[in-house]
Structure 1
Amino acid sequence: MGRPPNLYSFRDVDRDLAPNLRRYVLDQQNEAFKRHDVFRVAISGGSLPKTLAKALLAPPNGSDEDKVDFSKWEIFYADERCVPLDHEDSNHRLVQEEWLNKIPKDMVQPKVYTISEANLDDAQETADEYEQKLVAVFAARDSVKLPLFDLILLGCGPDGHTCSLFPDHPLLREQDAWILSISDSPKPPAKRITLSLPVVVAAAKVGFVATGGGKKDVLKKIFETEEGSKLPCVLVNEGAGEKVSWFCDQAATEGVSFPKRSSVI
């Protein structure tokens, strides 16, 4: 790993973290527009969609740099559960309820790529179908080794998992596939699909959002202990280095001595 990831710690989620997360996401949006006039972002579930809504649906400050242009967004899922899209375990349902449904009607909605509901009993088939959606978007005219997301936004589980990549799981060793299936998830539901680790670390930027006192033990492991060196979140840190930024509150970073920043703005 070259330069280490960025760790941001904020006093308050609403007043401090959300505005800084907005600036970070919009910086990546604007850079993506310069590259190819579209913003391709993958997101996970958990508490992330609610925090994203606070960040991105806040009133703009009037500057061009602070304008959200959802009409050029393409949203993918960093992981998804093999359940119907309206199921209570669906990440898509969560993202819809916490964020997408709250986008003002006068704004053009982003394009969202969901899993197919045709073969939910077969996690591998669901993964293969979702990978083909990525191939159609990222490799329409060329043969590419990996899809290059402009931004991937992730959470961090108390066990150090991210996406549906769990500690010590064989999927962490996969090097070729873009989308992986898992049928023995340690957390229910058992059947899921997930981005592979090489896809995550290949992204232009990777942002983690981890808040609350329940995250302080795992963050200390991730940033300060040899014990945490094999955790999926650490593998992302090591693979992507300075491309990674962590957005945390002070409750989550309590006791973490790794150098912390207080603003991206």
Structure 2
Amino acid sequence: MCVLSRSLDARGSPERMALSGVHKDRGELRIHENLDELGTDLADYIAELSEASVKERGVFAIALSGGSLIGLMGKLCEAPYNKTVDWAKWYIFWADERGVAKTHADSNYKLAKDGLLSKVPIVPSHVHSINDSLSAEEAANDYEFVIRQLVRTRTISVSDISDSPKFDLILLGMGADGHVASLFPNHPVLDANNEWVTFITNSPKPPPERITFTLPVINSASNVAVVVAGEDKAEAVHLAIDDVGPDHPPLPARMVQPTKGKLVWFLDKLAASKLDSSQFSE
């Protein structure tokens, strides 16, 4: 059940209004009036997780996706976050990447570098991008090897119920078709259970070659946030969150179900416009 609550700004003033609460099956929902409020809440959330992780483990291992997500993270480049976040302790990874050069407009790495990483004091050696000089299959294998090495050194934690890496935070967007990372509806890669990182060569959205975390890795994270904005995503949000019965095969976004971690949905009111209102109470 979700409840109507007033969000507070950094000074404790009730300046933003948001619908927030916990859905019985689909994690915490945070629904914002506009993108500015969503971006501020998202920055607060990431900064708080960063602080807690650095205090507990000495590092913050975060995996990003592409799309509009990076733009919505933009407030992290502004005060106070650009000064208060312990950027030197961040280790950056990608939940998925397109099979293109890092300089290509479709590159998730380029998007993150231009929109975030170049604007904050991240340690360059802590940025673990996917090798764009390899084939999709080779790049997936190489990236899994890199992650395994960092699990051994405990830069990335390991799940206590599987051998999967346990990222401190995985940030995902969602497409209008309900895909997350590069996990698309009805695609065989949704059943990949033995790999941490896999690849596809027939993406229904261009470019066709992609590298992606598998669902077991996403669902092993300590925290997963799905960030969605726009009316064109409303139907997919409804199908991913509401109880829609067995007539609808589960979208990849609905298959994001952290085993022991916490799931949070950051939505604007347009993306949330088709949610079942009976799940909310004031």
Q: Deviations over 1:135-177 (max 9, x none)?
A: 1111247997111100000000111000000111111111121
Matches within 5 A, 1:63-102: 67-102=84-119
Distance 1:242 1:11 in 2: 27
Higher relative contact order at CA 8 Å, sep ≥6: structure 1 or structure 2? 1
Moved more, 152-161 or 219-228: 219-228
Matches within 5 A, 1:115-130: 115-119=130-134, 122-130=135-143
User: Residue 136 of structure 1 corresponds to which residue in structure 2?
Assistant: 149
Q: Deviations over 1:82-131 (max 9, x none)?
A: 1111111111011111222233xxx3546211111332xx2111100111
The alignment status of 1:234 with 2:251, answered yes or no, reads no
Distance 1:11 1:82 in 2: 35
Distance 1:61 1:114 in 2: 23
Shift of 1:260: 5.6
Matches within 5 A, 1:154-193: 154-193=172-211
Distance 1:31 1:42 in 2: 17
Contact 1:6–1:246 (Cα < 8 Å) also in 2: yes
Distance 2:249 2:98 in 1: 27
Quick one: percent identity of the two aligned structures? 35
Contact 1:7–1:246 (Cα < 8 Å) also in 2: yes
The alignment status of 1:113 with 2:128, answered yes or no, reads yes
User: Residue 269 of structure 2 corresponds to which residue in structure 1?
Assistant: 250
User: Residue 228 of structure 2 corresponds to which residue in structure 1?
Assistant: 210
Contact 1:155–1:208 (Cα < 8 Å) also in 2: yes
Question: Which one-letter code corresponds to 1:244 in the other structure?
Answer: L
Distance 2:150 2:281 in 1: 35
Which protein has the bigger helix share?
1
User: Residue 12 of structure 1 corresponds to which residue in structure 2?
Assistant: 34
Distance 1:67 1:255 in 2: 37
Moved more, 73-82 or 228-237: 228-237
Contact 2:87–2:122 (Cα < 8 Å) also in 1: yes
The alignment status of 1:52 with 2:73, answered yes or no, reads yes
Which protein has the bigger strand share?
2
Distance 1:116 1:220 in 2: 36
Contact 2:222–2:260 (Cα < 8 Å) also in 1: no
Contact 1:2–1:242 (Cα < 8 Å) also in 2: no
Secondary structure of residue in 2 paired with 1:253: coil
Question: Which one-letter code corresponds to 2:30 in the other structure?
Answer: Y
User: Residue 20 of structure 2 corresponds to which residue in structure 1?
Assistant: none
Contact 1:172–1:196 (Cα < 8 Å) also in 2: yes
Question: Which one-letter code corresponds to 2:238 in the other structure?
Answer: K
Secondary structure of residue in 2 paired with 1:230: coil
Moved more, 45-54 or 217-226: 217-226
User: Residue 48 of structure 2 corresponds to which residue in structure 1?
Assistant: 27
- Cα RMSD after superposing both structures: 2.5
Question: Which one-letter code corresponds to 1:125 in the other structure?
Answer: E
Distance 1:134 1:218 in 2: 31
User: Residue 150 of structure 1 corresponds to which residue in structure 2?
Assistant: 168
Contact 1:80–1:194 (Cα < 8 Å) also in 2: yes
Question: Which one-letter code corresponds to 2:164 in the other structure?
Answer: L
- Taking structure 1 as the reference length, the TM-score comes to 0.87
- Taking structure 2 as the reference length, the TM-score comes to 0.82
Shift of 1:186: 0.7
Distance change >3 Å, CA 245–CA 184, structure 1 → 2: same
